[in-house]
């Protein structure tokens, strides 16, 4: 017999929040029945309205806070439009770091069954605002006026925003300038319902160490009305701009960038540095959005790799070679593999750019390329993985277990898939020594973590 649900939709109830979900909602329980409430914080007492009831859990809306958490910070009502994509901006930064550390601890214990692993406090930022070096801003119109900003949660309604508190000031300035210029020139916004109109997104990228700016105009159409005037005005109003690019996305899709990219003005790439390694960044390149914390993250990868100059290292999921080139400074040889061929071309170009000759890159699936290398006699003492959110491919994990590198350094952007993969590696003969979470995305629920694993004796 199913258990009776203790609340009904539209009930008003007083609750005490016990925890936060992985996406930052408060968790309250009524007779063991969990209710998830955006905006609630652990240890707070609040009045909520129940808005949805499922068999195993419900959702509520915060009506009134009766007893505040000491981690809560007040947000000026007029500033809320600046907080697009920031699920934790109502929590002090100290509270955010505690939440993220707790998140890593809980999933490693619950999913990975890893109880005796040393988990360090999260490495945070001194100034946890205005850090993103890239924006991809959707464009629409309202009352005949061009708007650009962010989507309201769980909707496709655009909130017009002149400034984001997590973007670098140069990014905010670029997006605002392009929005104003397009509006002045009467370039029409794209409408996804009708698949008509022109301007879909405004994208900006900024090299924090070099001061170089790229603007990307994403349109449905192959032509941009008043293109020459648009380019002239962008170059005049944004003195730091080094590249103006046109990307065409003619498909009915939520994917932001299309396949066709053309440089309208300036260079194909801008440059930036992580530490003393220089990177060329194109419109399509994957590049970490928080330059300062990327250095912190990669320094930790280097520390955990413990290179002496004698090691052969394999970097699975190497992207444009960011981690590979960092490692190559201390290793004898680095092999990087990545499934996206364009990223491998970028990686080779970045190696050349830095005069790094001991890094070699191959395009293909890591789980296919690495066994071939192994067969060809390439034996890695250290293997680094930095997979997407879904974690490592199971075939790659089995390859690692068979290859038996003495050390594995796992860089993760998703604690849940990290915990799952660490469990597989532990069962395959590895021991997780320590985990260092790094806050790459302050004010949001995301957290990166670097894990150090060593091969157990006898394996």
Residues 308 and 186 in one domain: no
Considering Cα of 43, then 45, then 51, then 54, what sign does the dihedral take? Answer: positive
Structure tokens at 414: 């998703």
Stated length of the chain = 459
335 in a domain, yes or no? Answer: yes
Q: Which of 207, 241, 274 is the last residue of a domain?
A: 274
Residues 255 and 330 in one domain: no
CB 239 within 8 A of CB 212: no
Per-residue confidence band for 154, with pLDDT thresholds at 50, 70 and 90: confident
Tens-digit pLDDT profile for residues 357-400: 999 999 999 989 998 998 899 989 999 999 999 999 999 999 99
Q: Which domain holds residue 199?
A: 134-274
Cβ neighbour number for residue 376 with a 10 Å cutoff? 8
pLDDT of residue 318: 95
- Distance CA(43)–CA(20), nearest Å, equals 10
Structure tokens at 300: 């930790």
348 in a domain, yes or no? Answer: yes
**What 3-state class would DSSP assign to 375?**
helix
Look up the CATH number of the domain holding residue 362. Answer: 3.40.50.150
24 Ramachandran zone, left/alpha/beta (phi>0; psi -120 to 50): left
Residues 116 and 175 in one domain: no
pLDDT of residue 266: 98
pLDDT of residue 1: 36
- Distance CA(52)–CA(187), nearest Å, equals 42
Q: Which of 214, 239, 274 is the last residue of a domain?
A: 274
- Distance CA(87)–CA(95), nearest Å, equals 13
Average pLDDT of the chain is 94
Residue (of 456, 396, 451, 449) closest to 422 by Cα position? 451
Residues 141 and 249 in one domain: yes
Look up the CATH number of the domain holding residue 242. Answer: 2.40.50.1070
117 Ramachandran zone, left/alpha/beta (phi>0; psi -120 to 50): beta
24 in a domain, yes or no? Answer: yes
431 in a domain, yes or no? Answer: yes
Question: Based on the structure, what is the number of domains in the chain?
Answer: 3
Residues 121 and 138 in one domain: no
Q: How many CA atoms lie within 13 A of 263 on its CB side?
A: 12
Residues 115 and 29 in one domain: no
- Distance CA(314)–CA(385), nearest Å, equals 8
Residues 264 and 298 in one domain: no
Residue (of 23, 138, 165, 173) closest to 84 by Cα position? 165
Chain-centroid distance of CA 416 in Å reads: 15
Residue (of 446, 447, 451) closest to 421 by Cα position? 451
Helix axis angle for 366-375 and 394-403, nearest 10°, is 20
Instruction: Say if residue 188's pLDDT is above 60.
Output: yes
pTM of the model: 0.92
Residues 445 and 335 in one domain: yes
Task: For residues 233-254, give the mean pLDDT.
Answer: 97
Phi, psi of 200 (to 5 degrees): -95, -55
Active site residues: 413
Residue (of 303, 306, 315) closest to 378 by Cα position? 315
341 in a domain, yes or no? Answer: yes
Residues 432 and 364 in one domain: yes
In whole angstroms, how far apart are CA 440 and each of 94, 99, 225, 390, 426? 15, 14, 38, 18, 27
Q: Which residue has the higher pLDDT, 214 or 144?
A: 214
Residues 171 and 113 in one domain: no
Q: Which of 246, 274, 302 is the last residue of a domain?
A: 274
Per-residue confidence band for 143, with pLDDT thresholds at 50, 70 and 90: confident
243 in a domain, yes or no? Answer: yes
Q: Which 8-state DSSP code applies to residue 89? A: T
Percent of the chain clearing pLDDT 70 (strictly above): 98
Percent of the chain clearing pLDDT 90 (strictly above): 88
Tens-digit pLDDT profile for residues 325-348: 999 999 999 999 999 999 999 999
- Distance CA(235)–CA(243), nearest Å, equals 9
CB 175 within 8 A of CB 147: no
Q: Which of 78-92, 201-215, 225-239, 407-421 has the lowest mean pLDDT?
A: 78-92
Look up the CATH number of the domain holding residue 47. Answer: 2.40.50.140
Number of helices (H) and strands (E) in the chain: give both, helices first.
Answer: 9, 22
Residues 120 and 232 in one domain: no
Residue (of 321, 358, 354, 351) closest to 338 by Cα position? 321
Cβ neighbour number for residue 267 with a 10 Å cutoff? 15
pLDDT of residue 79: 66
410 in a domain, yes or no? Answer: yes
Residues 150 and 262 in one domain: yes
86 in a domain, yes or no? Answer: no
């Amino acid at each position: 017999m199913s258990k009776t649900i203790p609340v009904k939709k539209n009930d008003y109830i007083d609750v005490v929040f016990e925890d936060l979900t992985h996406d930052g909602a408060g968790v309250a329980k009524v007779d063991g029945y969990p209710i998830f409430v955006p905006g609630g914080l652990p240890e707070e007492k609040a009045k909520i309205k129940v808005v949805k009831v499922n068999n195993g859990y419900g959702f509520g809306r915060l009506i009134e806070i009766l007893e505040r958490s000491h981690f809560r910070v007040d947000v000026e009502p007029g500033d809320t439009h600046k907080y697009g994509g920031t699920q934790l901006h109502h929590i002090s930064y100290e509270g955010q770091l505690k939440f993220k550390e707790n998140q890593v601890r809980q999933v490693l214990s619950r999913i990975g069954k890893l109880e005796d692993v040393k988990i360090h406090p999260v490495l945070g930022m001194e100034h946890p605002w205005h850090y993103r070096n890239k924006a991809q801003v959707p464009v629409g119109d309202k009352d005949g006026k061009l708007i650009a900003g962010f989507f309201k949660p769980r909707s496709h309604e655009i909130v017009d925003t002149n400034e984001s508190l997590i973007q670098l000031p140069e990014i905010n300035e670029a997006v605002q300038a392009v929005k104003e210029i397009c509006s002045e020139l009467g370039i029409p916004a794209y409408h996804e319902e009708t698949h008509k109109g022109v301007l879909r997104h405004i994208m900006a990228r900024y090299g924090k160490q070099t001061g170089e700016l790229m603007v990307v105009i994403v349109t449905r159409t192959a032509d941009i009305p008043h293109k020459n005037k648009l380019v002239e005005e962008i170059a005049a109003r944004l003195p730091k701009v080094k590249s103006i690019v046109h990307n065409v996305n003619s498909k009915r899709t939520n994917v932001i960038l299309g396949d066709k990219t053309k440089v309208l003005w300036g260079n194909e790439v801008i440059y930036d540095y992580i530490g003393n390694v220089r990177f060329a960044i194109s419109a399509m390149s994957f590049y970490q959005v928080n330059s300062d914390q990327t250095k912190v993250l990669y320094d930790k990868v280097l520390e955990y790799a413990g290179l002496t100059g004698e090691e052969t290292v394999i970097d699975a999921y190497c992207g444009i070679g960011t981690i590979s080139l960092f490692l190559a400074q201390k290793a004898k040889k680095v092999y990087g593999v990545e499934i996206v061929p364009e990223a491998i071309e970028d990686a080779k170009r970045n190696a050349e750019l830095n005069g790094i000759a001991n890094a070699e890159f191959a395009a293909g699936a890591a789980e296919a390329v690495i066994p071939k290398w192994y067969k060809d006699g390439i034996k890695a003492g250290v293997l680094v993985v930095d997979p997407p959110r879904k974690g490592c491919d199971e075939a790659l994990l089995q390859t690692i277990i068979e290859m038996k590198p003495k050390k594995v350094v796992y860089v993760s952007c998703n604690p849940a898939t990290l915990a799952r993969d660490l469990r597989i590696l532990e069962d395959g003969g590895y021991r997780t020594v320590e985990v260092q979470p790094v806050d790459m995305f302050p004010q949001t629920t995301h957290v990166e973590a670097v894990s150090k694993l060593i091969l157990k004796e006898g394996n």
